Amino acid sequence: MAMTNLGMELVAPVGVTAIRTWGAFFLGTGLIGLIGAARRDWIPLGLGAVFIIGALVVTARLYGIAVDGTEEKQISELTDESLGPLLAGLGLLLVWLHKRRNRTS
């Protein structure tokens, strides 16, 4: 099975399973974020979970780049993977600022 648009060729069923697993991982992380948004008091917990999971993925990617070398595809994936923890971190900052503002008012 070829995934030419991604520049990968999956020659064994284990490769297809790996792609499905990553897809499920990111869907699961998004689901955690949605559950966190279900109630106002759960928002920091959901954002924190998404931030931690995303930061671990980015850390693993950076380690892989440092150990295995840099390829164009890895940089592209690092850019995509960095967006989740960046947005979650921004959300946590906004929640903290909102709580701080309400305490002083």
Distance CA 87, CA 92 (A): 9
- Model confidence at 22, in pLDDT bands (50, 70, 90)? confident
- Model confidence at 105, in pLDDT bands (50, 70, 90)? low
pLDDT in tens, 87-100: 999 999 999 999 99
Number of CB atoms found within 10 A of residue 47's CB: 24
Interior angle at CA 23, CA 2 and CA 18, nearest 5: 55
Q: Would you say residue 104 has pLDDT above 90?
A: no
For every residue of 1-52, DSSP letters joined together read -EEGGGTEE--SHHHHHHHHHHHHHHHHHHHHHHHHTSSGGGHHHHHHHHHH
In this prediction, residues 60-77 reach a mean pLDDT of: 86
